[in-house]
Amino acid sequence: MLNQKVAIVTGGSRGAGKAIAGRLAAEGTKLAIIGSSEQIHESAKELTENGAEVLSIQADVSNEQQVKNAFKQAIDHYGQIDLLVNNAGLGFFKPTEETTLEEWQKVFAVNVQGVFLCTKEILPFMKEKKSGTIITISSDVGRRTIANGAAYTATKYAVQGFIGSVAQEVQEYGIRIGTINPGAIDTYFADSKQGETHKEDWLKVNDIAEAVCYMASAPKHMVVDEIMLHPLSQEYPRI
């Protein structure tokens, strides 16, 4: 169902974004991957060597003009965009009184403004086609709160509100919008290292990639609004 579709994946340089790109490519999806560093081109090279068709674009998702340029480049290159995966994000965890304004603004710029700018940029194209899927990688803390994570948690609550409203705006155009809300993932998040011993029982990046493929592959008459997943070892309040 994803064969010959075209997807934009933000934050595609490493971690979950790279895994998502690889999994989509395995389904025959053509890719435009966006990352803020030159590493995005190395990731694209690896994916290409494995048989994927990939366009790599270095851009900051919190910068409006860079987002506009990146999406124009992708659309001009492929002529179509069927799927947007808003994956780019960052986080830090510390007490609120130790959080600087610069840190607060930076995490909102990437996690919220980035999702807004990328979603806004692709919507006119999808509306014209009357089809398309937008998947945003949020977090389980978009549905609960945690200590020492006020800034990060606030961004994910904002994302949930934004995505929910947009979903209602575009339903009549046949555009499907959903969020994937993972718990603890073994990745590079919050300046950590992937593969650390204490993360052995955490979610893996491929778990997130599988969730993206499941959501994106839903029949056209159906939308998967939200997927919540977390490690069995993680304490999580049940509704």
Selected catalytic residue, list 78, 152, 173, 236: 152
pLDDT band at 180 (very low <50, low <70, confident <90, very high): very high
> CA angle 31-160-15, nearest 5°?
40
Whether 73 has a pLDDT exceeding 60, the answer reads yes
Q: Of the given ranges (142-146, 172-176, 187-191), which has the lowest mean pLDDT?
A: 187-191
- For residue range 22-72, list pLDDT tens digits in order: 999 999 999 999 999 999 999 999 999 999 999 999 999 999 999 999 999
Total structural domains in the chain? Answer: 1
Q: Please give the share of the chain, as a percent, with pLDDT higher than 90.
A: 85
Domain assignment present for 20: yes
Cα–Cα distance measured from residue 101 to residue 184, given in angstroms and rounded to the nearest whole number:
26
Q: Please give the share of the chain, as a percent, with pLDDT higher than 70.
A: 97
Burial (CB count within 10 angstroms: exposed 0-12, middle 13-18, buried 19+), residue 8: buried
pLDDT band at 188 (very low <50, low <70, confident <90, very high): confident
What value does the mean pLDDT take over residues 84-99? 96
Per the structure, the complete domain to which residue 82 belongs is given by 6-229
Taking Cα atoms as reference points, which of 128, 138, 99, 100 lies closest to residue 11?
138
Domain assignment present for 238: no
What value does the mean pLDDT take over residues 108-134? 98
CB 8 within 8 A of CB 81: yes
Whether 214 has a pLDDT exceeding 80, the answer reads yes
What value does the mean pLDDT take over residues 191-210? 85
Domain assignment present for 239: no
User: Does 152 qualify as catalytic in the annotation?
Assistant: yes
Domain assignment present for 181: yes
Distance, CA of 118 to chain centre: 10
* Average pLDDT over all residues of the chain: 94
Whether 190 has a pLDDT exceeding 70, the answer reads no
Q: 65 is written with which tokens?
A: 């003009």
CB 25 within 8 A of CB 31: yes
Question: Which residue(s) pair with 7 in the sheet?
Answer: 31, 83
Distance, CA of 6 to chain centre: 15
CATH number at residue 77: 3.40.50.720
- For residue range 155-177, list pLDDT tens digits in order: 999 999 999 999 999 999 999 99
Domain assignment present for 195: yes
pLDDT band at 106 (very low <50, low <70, confident <90, very high): very high
What is the reported pLDDT for 238? Answer: 66
DSSP conformational letter for 92: -
Cα–Cα distance measured from residue 46 to residue 42, given in angstroms and rounded to the nearest whole number:
6
Taking Cα atoms as reference points, which of 32, 44, 43, 40 lies closest to residue 8?
32
98 Cβ neighbours under 8 A, 6+ residues apart: none
Cα–Cα distance measured from residue 144 to residue 15, given in angstroms and rounded to the nearest whole number:
24
Looking at per-residue pLDDT, the higher value among 201 and 210 belongs to: 210
Cα–Cα distance measured from residue 60 to residue 65, given in angstroms and rounded to the nearest whole number:
9
Question: Which residue(s) pair with 59 in the sheet?
Answer: none
Domain assignment present for 126: yes
Whether 127 has a pLDDT exceeding 60, the answer reads yes
